């Protein structure tokens, strides 16, 4: 641990520096590949929607070692004609999923299951979703998503800088694509709890990005009045300075989520806890990635197009082309010392 | 060091801030005892029960729009039906906004199927002539046997035996086929009636409103207007009954099988415009007008979602939620202690106080606004452990950065705070936006997740301002942390600073 803390110090002063901004093409490539796979998975396989979206009924029987065959037989006896899915959950649960049924049929399935397993109807956990219900929650979820993106963009533009807001939102949309893609690819069930977990992640991913951008803003406050580093270099320093923080906050956020996932999937088998935490788990990882590898390079690229920043870049390259600039501040000296060494390398990679 | 001394002088007063926070927690605890809120109210998914979410729509065959008033009426009709089951702590509430609200019915315990059948039916309004009326209590053996002419002995017996004080007799629903003679109670259970088959239907009303008789001053009345069909039907009904003896000259307004009002008909009304007068208060008049309006355009209810959770599953889910919470908390505590060493105790203390405040708020809000804790709510609280701990990390890392720039711990605790505060405020604000939007755009149980997430974001701010920051300032004055002890989390080594630089 203390080794990691020591690394934090070296990263802070720029002695150890990972070139996040210069290697942006590499990160963009990685993300593009993921996004393409996501779109492919969505187009080919689509999302595995839970009954909340399609309408249908779910009956869960909890008893000593229930058999799937018995449950299937009970469903047939109840006269359900459509396809029913029967799953075993853990050691003592069986779940039956059917399409939309009439109320009388729902009752018949409950009665048949109760009779088959010799249990009381009231111990069967039942969830019945009307056929039009899915539209309602889908609509609401979409409103929520767009409302969120819009409000946050306006807020960040005011609290930070407009271009920061745009890059943060680009990173969020990136997260949305990849997370949805993973769901399509693996075939995880999408339920309202998934959607909620997912929307939460958007907030969380932004939290990380905000921490990085706040540092960028601080580092670049009066950058044009100097000619010691370019905007990209300043962003890169900020990312390096905050990376230990990002890693820590992500680990600390992942730990509780992982325990919900572990307990939810392990003890309960399925349901709200598992769906929610799985979405959070995947989203957190993707969100951390994008707040380091996507949002800052996108911001740097947008800002570098500004004439003031291009002029700055020229001044910096003119200066660092010569001898190493003497500086009284250790951190800046370290950066400048690295600058000339880094630049040829970066060019080589492009 | 002279500049440092200056900073410390202008710094906050950590002891006082901590004392205030302590007082707030003590006051909340006292309030909990005063209110007698000793246990958190659990949602149905944690203790077992049935919840039904209904989506109101215009009944098939009718045209028009769902109005906000109609949904309010529907809620009160369904509440009447649910109360007839006599299950304690049943709740009927509208959720969402405007005309797109859902009606959510929650009933603890094992009533599942009956509730589902009961609440889904469309409530109809009908006008029926009163054949007989009496007090709501059952007649003593055969004393009430003044047989009402024109109805069967069976109906007479049923009328005599009816006890309107029993909740199950105030259910109404489904008993009032329009062509039948009906034996029923009024909504409050004070009076019982024998009613003739329906002659005018709610759908034949075209408008209804409450008004104030300006001449009499305080006399509120309800006026109603019928459509063409309704006008002739109501004309026939009124002209027939107006000359009859009490109580057969009354016309009962029956909603969902129960009598809402039974005005006496004083004259034949051929025009289709009627006025109901009486000693109405403003509220009573408006209520009656709303009932009539609702009757004109009754709502049908689509069953959106029905969830029946057995008490066993409820207990399992509660245990799983608590276990996940304990495990998550444990892992975060271990991580912060390993990484921040002794400083981690400030984090542990902060999390403990945040947890205590959250628990107290759960108790108090259960009492004040009927807050119930659901599984999604527990998940929200667990996720919030991470969010809360994040704020500390942002602050601590900032302090360490300040120290790397050569500041002393004492100074860094203050200067680092100024910069970390901004980051934390912006980040928490984003979390808050997320929580608020989630709350308004989610349906059913998952709302609880957004609610606890929002609540914990606020608690996070309180804790970081009033606990973590003053606690760190206090700690920064102690010798142990200032000396850069290896276990303090602020040693030059762990900051990655060379010994030479430190000197």
Q: What does the pLDDT look like over B411-455, one tens digit per residue?
A: 888 899 998 898 888 878 878 888 888 787 766 566 788 888 889
Q: Residue B4 falls within a domain, yes or no?
A: no
Check if A92 contacts B (Cβ < 8 Å): no
In A, minimum Cα distance to B52 occurs at: A128
Q: Do residue B423 and residue A210 have CB atoms under 8 angstroms apart?
A: yes
Bridge pairing between strands A48-49 and B258-261: unpaired
What's the topology of domain A56-129?
Beta Polymerase; domain 2 (3.30.460)
According to the model, what pLDDT value does residue B398 have? 87
What are A21's two structure tokens?
């901004």
pLDDT band at B156 (very low <50, low <70, confident <90, very high): confident
For residues B158-187, give the mean pLDDT.
Answer: 80
Check if A136 contacts B (Cβ < 8 Å): yes
Residues 6+ apart with CB under 8 A from A46: A184
Q: Closest Cα of chain A to B234: distance in Å? A: 38
Check if A328 contacts B (Cβ < 8 Å): no
Same domain for B90 and B57: yes
What are A294's two structure tokens?
């996507």
Cα gap A41→A33, rounded to integer Å: 12
Same domain for B348 and B278: no
Q: Residue B115 falls within a domain, yes or no?
A: yes
Neighbours of B282 (CB within 10 A): 11
pLDDT score of B86 more than 90: no
Q: Closest Cα of chain B to A350: distance in Å? A: 33
Higher-scoring residue by pLDDT: B322, A122 = B322
Which residues from chain B sit within 8 angstroms of residue A196, using beta carbons? 376, 438, 442, 446, 449-450
- Element containing residue B437 per DSSP (H, E): helix B409-441
- Listed as ranges, residues in chain A with pLDDT below 50 are 1-2, 322-350
Q: Residue B1 falls within a domain, yes or no?
A: no
- For B365-393, give the DSSP string: HHHHS---B-HHHHHHHHHHHHHHHHHHH
The domain boundary residue, chosen from B274, B298, B322: B298
Chain A residues 149-178 with CB within 8 Å of chain B: 151-152, 155-156, 159-160
Which residues from chain B sit within 8 angstroms of residue A10, using beta carbons? 496
The domain boundary residue, chosen from B267, B298, B329: B298
Cα A156 → chain centroid: 19
Q: Do residue A252 and residue B112 have CB atoms under 8 angstroms apart?
A: no
Check if A333 contacts B (Cβ < 8 Å): no
Q: How far apart are the first and last CA of chain A?
A: 35
Same domain for B139 and B208: yes
In A, minimum Cα distance to B46 occurs at: A272
Q: What does the pLDDT look like over A82-135, one tens digit per residue?
A: 778 888 877 788 889 888 888 888 888 988 998 888 888 888 888 888 877 777
Three-state secondary structure readout of B307-364: EEECHHHHHHHHHHHHHHHHHHHHHHHHHHHHHHHHHHHHHHHHHHHHHHHHHHHHHH
Q: Do residue A159 and residue B429 have CB atoms under 8 angstroms apart?
A: yes
Neighbours of A253 (CB within 10 A): 28
Q: Closest Cα of chain B to A279: distance in Å? A: 12
Which residues from chain B sit within 8 angstroms of residue A140, using beta carbons? 441-443
Same domain for B401 and B343: yes
Same domain for B379 and B261: no
ipTM for the complex shown: 0.79
What are the boundaries of each domain within chain A?
A: 2-47+134-349, 56-129
In B, minimum Cα distance to A271 occurs at: B317
Alpha carbon of B353 to those of A174, A309, B345, B467: distances in Å?
37, 47, 12, 8
Same domain for B323 and B404: yes
For residues B208-227, give the mean pLDDT.
Answer: 84
Reduced to 3 states (helix: H, G, I; strand: E, B; else coil), residue A328 is: coil
Check if B225 contacts A (Cβ < 8 Å): no
The domain boundary residue, chosen from B242, B263, B298: B298
Q: Residue B5 falls within a domain, yes or no?
A: no
- Element containing residue A168 per DSSP (H, E): helix A162-186
Cα gap A305→A122, rounded to integer Å: 67
In A, minimum Cα distance to B50 occurs at: A126
Same domain for B129 and B116: no
Neighbours of A31 (CB within 10 A): 19
Cα gap B196→B182, rounded to integer Å: 7
Which residue out of B66, B117, B310 would a mutagenesis test of the A interface target, given it has the greatest number of A Cβ atoms within 10 Å?
A: B310
CB B58 within 8 A of CB B299: yes
Check if B104 contacts A (Cβ < 8 Å): no
Length of chain A, in residues: 350
Q: Do residue A103 and residue B117 have CB atoms under 8 angstroms apart?
A: yes
The CATH number of the domain where B31 resides is what? Answer: 1.20.1640.10
Which residue out of B340, B397, B449 would a mutagenesis test of the A interface target, given it has the greatest number of A Cβ atoms within 10 Å?
A: B397
In B, minimum Cα distance to A11 occurs at: B496
Q: Do residue A211 and residue B427 have CB atoms under 8 angstroms apart?
A: yes
Whether the pTM exceeds 0.90: the reply is no
Q: Closest Cα of chain B to A264: distance in Å? A: 7
Q: Do residue B390 and residue A249 have CB atoms under 8 angstroms apart?
A: yes
Cα gap A302→A169, rounded to integer Å: 14
According to the model, what pLDDT value does residue B147 have? 65
Cα gap A292→A300, rounded to integer Å: 12
Same domain for B450 and B434: yes
pLDDT score of B143 more than 50: no
Q: Do residue B494 and residue A5 have CB atoms under 8 angstroms apart?
A: yes
Q: Do residue B394 and residue A211 have CB atoms under 8 angstroms apart?
A: yes
pLDDT score of B501 more than 80: no
Chains A, B: CB contacts under 8 A, how many? 261
The CATH number of the domain where B289 resides is what? Answer: 3.30.1360.200
In A, minimum Cα distance to B453 occurs at: A200
CB B116 within 8 A of CB B52: yes
CB B194 within 8 A of CB B181: yes
Q: Residue B404 falls within a domain, yes or no?
A: yes
Best CATH choice for the domain A2-47+134-349 from the list 1.20.1640.10, 3.40.50.1220, 1.10.3080.10, 3.20.20.70: 1.20.1640.10
Neighbours of B180 (CB within 10 A): 14
Q: Do residue B449 and residue A200 have CB atoms under 8 angstroms apart?
A: yes
In B, minimum Cα distance to A3 occurs at: B494
Check if A207 contacts B (Cβ < 8 Å): yes
The residue segments making up the domain with residue B275 are 125-298
Same domain for B273 and B151: yes
Neighbours of B86 (CB within 10 A): 12
Check if B420 contacts A (Cβ < 8 Å): no
According to the model, what pLDDT value does residue A47 have? 86
Bridge pairing between strands A125-129 and A189-190: unpaired
Cα B285 → chain centroid: 27
In A, minimum Cα distance to B339 occurs at: A1
What are A309's two structure tokens?
């920043």
Question: Running DSSP on this structure, what letter comes out for residue A225?
Answer: G
Check if B20 contacts A (Cβ < 8 Å): no
Of B113, B309, B430, the CB nearest to A206: B430
Check if B328 contacts A (Cβ < 8 Å): yes
Could you give the number of structural domains in chain B?
A: 3
The CATH number of the domain where B66 resides is what? Answer: 3.30.70.3400
In B, minimum Cα distance to A214 occurs at: B423
Check if A4 contacts B (Cβ < 8 Å): yes
Which residue out of A164, A172, A221, A263 would a mutagenesis test of the B interface target, given it has the greatest number of B Cβ atoms within 10 Å?
A: A263
Of A1, A125, A276, the CB nearest to B309: A125
- Element containing residue A310 per DSSP (H, E): helix A307-321
Check if A264 contacts B (Cβ < 8 Å): yes
The CA-CA-CA angle for residues B495, B501, B503, to 5°, reads 110
Reduced to 3 states (helix: H, G, I; strand: E, B; else coil), residue B80 is: helix
Q: Residue B337 falls within a domain, yes or no?
A: yes
Residues 6+ apart with CB under 8 A from B194: B130, B131, B132, B133, B148, B151, B155, B156, B159, B181, B182, B183
Of B313, B434, B495, the CB nearest to A148: B434
Q: Do residue B404 and residue A13 have CB atoms under 8 angstroms apart?
A: yes
- Element containing residue B185 per DSSP (H, E): strand B182-185
Mean pLDDT of the residues in chain B: 82
pLDDT score of B2 more than 50: no
Q: What does the pLDDT look like over B323-332, one tens digit per residue?
A: 999 999 999 9
pLDDT score of B295 more than 90: no
Q: Residue B304 falls within a domain, yes or no?
A: no
């Amino acid at each position: 641990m203390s080794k990691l803390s020591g690394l934090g110090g070296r990263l802070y002063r720029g002695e150890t520096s990972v070139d996040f901004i210069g290697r942006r093409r590499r990160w963009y490539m990685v993300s593009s590949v993921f996004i393409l796979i996501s779109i492919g998975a969505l187009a080919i396989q689509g999302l595995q929607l839970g009954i909340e979206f399609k309408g249908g009924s779910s009956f869960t029987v909890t008893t000593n070692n229930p058999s799937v065959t018995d449950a299937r037989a009970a469903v047939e006896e109840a006269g359900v004609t459509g396809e029913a899915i029967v799953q075993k959950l853990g050691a003592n649960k069986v779940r039956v999923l059917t399409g939309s049924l009439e109320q009388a049929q729902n009752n018949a399935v409950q009665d048949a299951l109760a009779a088959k397993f010799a249990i009381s109807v009231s111990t069967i956990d039942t969830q019945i979703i009307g056929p039009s219900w899915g539209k309602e929650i889908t609509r609401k979820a979409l409103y929520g998503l767009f409302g969120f993106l819009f409000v946050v963009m306006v807020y960040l533009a005011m609290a930070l800088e407009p271009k920061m807001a745009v890059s943060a939102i680009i990173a969020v949309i990136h997260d949305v694509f990849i997370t949805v893609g993973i769901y399509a690819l693996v075939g995880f069930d999408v339920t309202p709890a998934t959607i909620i977990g997912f929307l939460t992640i958007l907030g969380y991913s932004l939290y990380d990005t905000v921490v990085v951008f706040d540092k960028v803003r601080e580092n670049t406050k009066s950058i044009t009045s100097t000619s010691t580093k370019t905007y990209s270099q300043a962003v890169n320093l900020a990312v390096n300075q905050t990376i230990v923080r990002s890693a820590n906050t992500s680990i600390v956020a992942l730990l509780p989520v992982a325990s919900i996932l572990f307990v939810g999937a392990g003890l309960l088998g399925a349901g709200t806890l598992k769906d929610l935490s799985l979405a959070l788990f995947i989203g957190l990882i993707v969100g951390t990635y994008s707040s380091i590898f996507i949002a800052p390079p996108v911001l740097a690229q947008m800002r570098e197009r500004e004439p003031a920043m291009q002029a700055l870049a020229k001044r910096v390259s003119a200066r660092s082309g010569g001898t190493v600039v003497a500086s009284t501040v250790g951190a800046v000296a370290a950066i400048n010392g690295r600058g000339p060494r880094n630049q040829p390398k970066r060019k080589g990679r492009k | 060091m002279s500049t440092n001394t200056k900073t410390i002088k202008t710094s906050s007063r950590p002891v006082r801030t901590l004392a205030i926070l302590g007082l707030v927690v003590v006051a909340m605890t006292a309030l909990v005892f005063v209110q007698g809120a000793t246990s958190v109210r659990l949602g149905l998914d944690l203790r077992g029960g049935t919840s039904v979410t209904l989506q109101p729509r215009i009944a098939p065959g009718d045209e028009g729009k769902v109005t906000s008033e109609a949904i309010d009426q529907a809620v009160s009709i369904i509440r009447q039906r649910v109360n007839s089951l006599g299950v304690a702590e049943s709740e009927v509430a509208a959720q969402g906004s405007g005309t797109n609200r859902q009606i959510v019915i929650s009933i603890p315990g094992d009533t599942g199927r009956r509730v589902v059948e009961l609440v889904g039916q469309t409530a109809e309004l009908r006008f029926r002539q009163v054949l007989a009326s009496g007090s709501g209590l059952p007649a003593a053996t055969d004393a009430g046997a003044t047989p009402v002419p024109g109805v069967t002995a069976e109906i007479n017996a049923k009328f005599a035996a009816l006890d309107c004080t029993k909740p199950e007799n105030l259910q109404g629903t489904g008993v009032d086929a329009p062509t039948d003679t009906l034996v029923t109670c009024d909504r409050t259970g004070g009076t019982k009636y024998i009613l003739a088959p329906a002659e005018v239907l709610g759908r034949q009303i075209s408008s209804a409103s409450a008004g104030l008789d300006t001449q009499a001053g305080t006399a509120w009345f309800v006026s109603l207007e019928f459509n063409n069909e309704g006008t002739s039907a109501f004309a026939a009904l009124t002209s027939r009954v107006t000359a009859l003896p009490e109580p057969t000259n009354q016309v009962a307004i029956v909603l969902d099988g129960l009598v809402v009002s039974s005005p006496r008909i004083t004259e034949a009304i051929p025009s289709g415009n009627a006025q109901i007068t009486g000693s109405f208060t403003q509220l009573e008049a408006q209520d009656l007008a709303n009932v009539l309006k609702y009757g004109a355009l009754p709502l049908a209810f689509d069953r959106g979602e029905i969830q029946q959770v057995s008490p066993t599953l409820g207990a399992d889910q509660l245990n799983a939620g608590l276990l996940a919470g304990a495990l998550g908390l444990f892992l975060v505590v271990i991580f912060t202690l390993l990484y921040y060493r002794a400083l981690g105790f400030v984090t542990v203390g902060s999390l403990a106080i945040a947890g205590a405040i959250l628990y107290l708020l759960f108790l108090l809000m259960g009492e004040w606004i009927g807050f119930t804790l659901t599984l999604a709510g527990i998940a929200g609280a667990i996720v919030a452990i991470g969010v809360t701990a994040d704020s500390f990390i942002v602050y601590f890392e900032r302090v360490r950065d300040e120290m790397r720039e050569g500041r002393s711990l004492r100074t860094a605790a203050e200067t680092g705070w100024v910069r970390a505060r901004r980051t934390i405020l912006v980040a928490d604000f984003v979390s808050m936006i997320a929580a608020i939007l989630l709350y308004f755009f989610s349906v059913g149980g998952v709302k609880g997740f957004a609610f606890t997430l929002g609540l914990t974001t606020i608690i996070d701010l309180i804790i970081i301002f009033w606990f973590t920051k003053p606690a760190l300032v206090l700690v920064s004055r102690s010798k142990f942390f200032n000396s850069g002890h290896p276990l303090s989390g602020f040693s030059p080594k762990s900051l990655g600073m060379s010994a030479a630089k430190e000197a």
